[in-house]
Amino acid sequence: MCFKHKALGVVAPSVFLFDQVTKLAVIIFLPMSERWPVIDGFFDLVHFQNTGAAFGFLADSDASFRIPFFYIIAVAATILLIFYFRSLGEKERILPVAISLVFGGMAGNVVDRIRLGVVTDFLFFHIGDRSLDFSLLGKKVHWQLEWPAFNVADSAITIAMALFLFSVFSHRRGEER
């Protein structure tokens, strides 16, 4: 078995299982909307339910649009990734891992949507309760110094995107030599 198939067979299921186990633990042990400080003033475990995508994208849109939209995007992404995965050479190392991370993360969030109708987010980084307040073009701006809550699946997908970028830039750098 070549590396890309081994990566897919190990990474994707591992991400999926870790994502689902951590979300289940949050659902069981952490009441909705409660915060448990891990690193005071910087990192909390929380229990939020996200009806949208990353950063709450489309969270306020009508469910009759939002729900089918997310499933269509997941199916389209899966098809594209399968074709891309199949085209990878046997010597490729970074991209099979990246694609496997995406598959595992995407599966974790899709299962949440199917099972619960929402995605459970629980990792929350912030800088105390601080915010930046300033005026921009005559309007007052209030920007809370926090990152929207996320989960293991989101983390895997983010790491995958970083690996994709690394692969693209390292490949281009190799062509310039």
**Above pLDDT 70, what percent of the chain?**
95
Query: Which is more confidently placed, 172 or 36?
Result: 36
Query: Which is more confidently placed, 141 or 98?
Result: 98
SS3 call for 11: helix
Global pTM exceeds 0.85 = yes
What b/e readout covers 42-77, taking b as 16+ CB neighbours within 10 angstroms? eebbbbbbbbbbeeeebeeeeeeebbeebeeeeeee
Average pLDDT score over residue span 23-38: 96
Query: Which is more confidently placed, 173 or 125?
Result: 125
Amino acid occupying residue 93: R
Average pLDDT score, the chain: 92
The residues annotated as belonging to the active site are 121, 154
Average pLDDT score over residue span 44-66: 85
**Above pLDDT 90, what percent of the chain?**
71
Average pLDDT score over residue span 60-88: 91
